Amino acid sequence: MEIRRYVQRLSPHALPGVVLNSRLPLTEPVAFVDGLEGLVADLDQQSAAGRIASDTDAAVAQRLHGALLALEDRALTDQRLWQWLTTVPFRRYTGARWVPDLATNPELLQQPAVQKRYLGGSSLNGTSRNALARLFWCARSLWSPAEGYRLSDIVLGNQDFYQALFERKLGLHAPLVAAAADRLRDSGEKERRDTLKNLNHVLTTVAVEYLDGDELVHLVESCRP
């Protein structure tokens, strides 16, 4: 399947025309990937039945990550790529997952929270709100040869846990995200929230890029309340 991106970032003003009427701005090719057509077809079939539940996120993340793994980081960090994915091949999925009432209430596309599901943004919050980028980056950050997608399955099963990890500065460093997800996987919501808040504060003075796995685990543990 050919992956494309918009030549210019898609604006909130143009979004209704793209999603509702397929009035696409100019696009350009990025790469060909394997495995994505099957995922699109399966999700289109689920979308035809109505709302897609949040408990599908982990499985979709695994397949999306596998299909896009070969793309270069330069492409994967381009908002225009994710905007094209959510509004063209995965348009039905994005609507069924996040805006199931769109067909009867198209004005929902005027809401900033809904727009972010299609458009994302340059911030951590923007990336974590895009319907597809959020799944891919969670899977990529937490996948490991030894444990596969165990941690991403856990994190995507709890929206609060996901946001606490990926909408803070620590979300920029995949090894630290993995260490935090592993150490806090069995913790309660308050302990997770307080620990990650403390950890994010510590990152203002600690260069995590120079820490190894054991040191990252110790850092997480030291931030428990």
Q: Where are the domains positioned within the chain?
A: 2-135, 158-222
Amino acid at position 50, single letter? G
pLDDT of amino acid 171: 87
pLDDT at 122 over 80: no
pLDDT-derived band at 172 (thresholds 50, 70, 90) equals: confident
As a whole number of angstroms, the distance between CA 193 and CA 191 comes to 5
Q: Which of 44-58, 88-102, 197-211 has the lowest mean pLDDT?
A: 197-211
The whole-model pTM stands at 0.93
